[in-house]
Structure 1
Amino acid sequence: MKGGVASQAQRLMVAGCAAAAVAFGVTSGAAIADAGPSSFADRSVSKHTADGWRITAVKAQEKVRSVRPLNQSPWTREGFLSLRGEGRIGGAGRVAVSAGTVSAGFQIGCNTDVTSGVTLGMTAGPTAQMSISWPPALIVGAQANGNISTTLKPGTIANIPFGTKKLAGPTAGLTVDGVHVKVDGCLGPVAVRSYVTVAISTPANDNTVNVYGQPHYL
């Protein structure tokens, strides 16, 4: 009798896995197909500061390419990301700018973690893993992170900075091309959204401007 119950539980688990795999195929089948990168429109946001400066954050050259996972796992999302972030300072400020930076990266979110077993409609624990890597030499003169790994908690968003460049003049920027991103243990598509942040500081005020891209999916 106990054996029959165990066999029935195993059959239910297999059925649950199959159902999840089917759901994955229906909702994300297009996302994992190998295709050329999708390019997205450039965007910019400008603000005037209390000191009289005009600062602008520019998001440009954004591309998101979803690919079929190399490990063939239905719980893995893989892709390549490209982005340029640029900061500009203009106007005739009354107080000199003493420091400034431009940062660029992506915000990445996982809907449901399945690393502790297949669950439909419920999370299984905050342990979905993400790794990002690219050659730091692609960002010349910037503070770049060579490898990033983090734990994605279902229902939350992780900010992943690709690098920060100092604003030593009126304009500065950084470009990353073909950054590899892989998320394991996630059911359903992984959402990504680009961001660029420009910050300046004067002896009197600190100001920050952000620009964001549209959400896309791996």
Structure 2
Amino acid sequence: MRLFPFGLLALSLSAALCATTPARADIDTLPPHERTYASTFGSFTVGNRDEFVNRIAPLNMVGTTRESLVSSIAYARVDGIAGGSLKTGYTVGCAVTLQNGNVGAIPQVYVPSATVGQSPTVGIIGPNIQVPMSVNLAPGEVKDVPVADKDLMPGKEVSIVIRDFHITVNSCTGPVAIRQYTYIYVKSAETDDSGAVFGDSTWL
């Protein structure tokens, strides 16, 4: 039976864990998406644009950790007498996770016309930001990470601007995929309606 010297074994293990760590930032520009729906009260439109995924090297320099800064603009318009809400976030999936794998999210989000307040410890901006700081992922599981929501205004376009939203995936030994989503929920006196657009999926 062959025995590896302890130092050589530790070095080999370290190299294996760091093998997939990116050496520098890698920015991916994704295409816009938009859909318009007809409804009993008129019509409504939902879309997303200016989406970027900036893959960055993890601070711990471990190959099972992925980090990225994501940016996008989610928007919606209601043409008719109706209200509702616009919601946006990201779906994150990991093919194979180690024990206690999780997703962390730290937002930099601007909601136009909203009062802005910032906590230096939690890092949440705006009154309608709903971000779980840690989402547990089982092997092969996909989880949604909500970012923000905003009330709709009849006849006007509303938007949610996301800048450098920090997504961290820990203890993932397989590929990590993310995809932006934008949902619109519309309510009138006669009808509750909804629609959605999804960004192109990409990897971390």
TM bucket normalised to smaller: 0.7 to 0.9
CA distance in 1 between counterparts of 2:26 and 2:108 reads 21
What is aligned with 2:111?
A: 139
Structure 2: give runs of 5+ residues left out of the alignment: 115-126
Partners of 2:108 and 2:163 within 8 A in 1: no
CA distance in 2 between counterparts of 1:20 and 1:56 reads 49
Q: Which runs of 4+ in 1 moved over 4 A?
A: 17-20
Partners of 2:74 and 2:160 within 8 A in 1: yes
Residue 90 of structure 2 is aligned to residue 106 of structure 1: yes
Decide whether aligned partners of structure 1 residues 45 and 68 sit closer, same or farther in structure 2, where only a CA change above 3 A counts: same
Identity of aligned residues (%): 22
CA positional deviation for 1:81: 0.7
Partners of 2:64 and 2:173 within 8 A in 1: yes
**Correspondence for 1:41 among 27, 31, 38:** 31
Partners of 1:57 and 1:197 within 8 A in 2: yes
**Correspondence for 1:75 among 61, 64, 75:** 64
Give CA deviations for 1:121-176 in whole Å, capped at 9, x if unaligned: xxxxxx3111101245x335251136622111222211111100101232111111
SS at match of 1:148: coil
Quick check: which one's helix share is greater? Answer: 1
**Correspondence for 2:143 among 143, 158, 168:** 158
Partners of 2:105 and 2:167 within 8 A in 1: yes
**Correspondence for 1:56 among 10, 33, 45:** 45
Decide whether aligned partners of structure 1 residues 69 and 150 sit closer, same or farther in structure 2, where only a CA change above 3 A counts: same
Give CA deviations for 1:81-137 in whole Å, capped at 9, x if unaligned: 1111101112xx5xx31x21111111001111123xxxxxxxxxxx3111101245x
Provide TM-score, normalisation by structure 2: 0.80
What is aligned with 2:161?
A: 175
Higher Rg of the two aligned structures: 1
Decide whether aligned partners of structure 1 residues 52 and 168 sit closer, same or farther in structure 2, where only a CA change above 3 A counts: closer
User: RMSD between aligned alpha carbons?
Assistant: 2.7
SS at match of 1:21: helix
In the alignment of these two chains, the number of paired residues is 185
Structure 1: give runs of 5+ residues left out of the alignment: 116-126
Give CA deviations for 1:54-78 in whole Å, capped at 9, x if unaligned: 1111111111011111111121111
